[in-house]
Amino acid sequence: MQNTPSPPIPNSTGSCALATASLVCGICGLFLGPLTGIPAIITGHIALGRIRKSGGILQGNGLAIAGLVLGYIFTAIFAVILTLAMAGFAAGNSAIQKAHKITCLATATDLESAVNNFYNEYGSMPQIGKSDATVTTDVDSAILEELQGLNTTLNTRGIKFLSVKEGKDRKNGIIYGTGGGSVLGLYDPWGGGYKIRLDLDYDEKLDVNGEVLDGRRVAVWSDGPDRKPGTKDDVKTW
């Protein structure tokens, strides 16, 4: 009886394609970070699993490990850089907002001083009324013109009580009309108007959003970055 020959035992070996792919992706991670670093990690793990299960037929263990290491390294480096960049951006934005608030408070204080000086000069407020009122400087320009001496209806001697820097794009300063003879508005650093609460009944008591201020003829505030009244980022002179 003729013996049937046994099937040949594979003795050839080949490199695992995924191991090579992992190494290539890992190297590219130097330039592309996690875009190729993460694929390097995934293909590296898969390649190592296939190589281990192949019983020695597949090669490329070193390539897969190298791809894995590079993938982890460059992905981690990118994560650190991104974290530092975000922290730097947050710190920079915080510094900008702090500077804006300082500028805003200075202007609000100048407004309050201007109204008080007007009262000391004329014995009256720069607006007519019988009850306390709030004016907003981005829409109520008449009081600004009185305080700057551009309107002499109440400021009969044309005294300039208020001097503030000019703004741009309706932000962070006063905006004049053509020729500078009128005022369009006064804006805080975030584009909102300043609120001026005036003691028009002359009892030296002001109610500002439910908060009673005694011994004051004027109070000035800005709604702050969120431009919403009564929130914690408001900038106030009291």
Look at residue 6 in the predicted model and tell me its pLDDT.
54
Please give the pLDDT value at position 13: 64
| The residue to which tokens 């908060």 are assigned | 211
What are the sequence ranges of the domains in the chain? Answer: 14-87, 102-236
Looking at residue 9, its pLDDT comes to 45
* pLDDT value, residue 96: 93
Give residue 209's pLDDT.
Answer: 87
49-83 confidence digits (pLDDT tens): 999 999 889 999 999 999 999 999 999 999 999 99
- The DSSP-derived string for the chain is -PPPPPPPPP---EE-HHHHHHHHHHHHHHHHTHHHHHHHHHHHHHHHHHHHHTTTSEE-HHHHHHHHHHHHHHHHHHHHHHHHHHHHHHHHHHHHHHHHHHHHHHHHHHHHHHHHHHHHHHSS-SS--SS-EEEETTT--HHHHHHTTS-TTT-TT--------B-BTTBSEEEE-GGGSSEEEEE-TTSPBPEEEE-TT-SSEEEETTEEEET-SEEEEE-TTTT-TTSTT-EE--
- pLDDT confidence of residue 194: 98
d(CA 3, CA 100): 95
The answer to pTM > 0.75 is: no
pLDDT at 144: 97
Q: State the Cα–Cα distance between residues 19 and 63, nearest whole angstrom.
A: 5
With a cut of 50, which residues of the chain have pLDDT below it? 1, 8-11
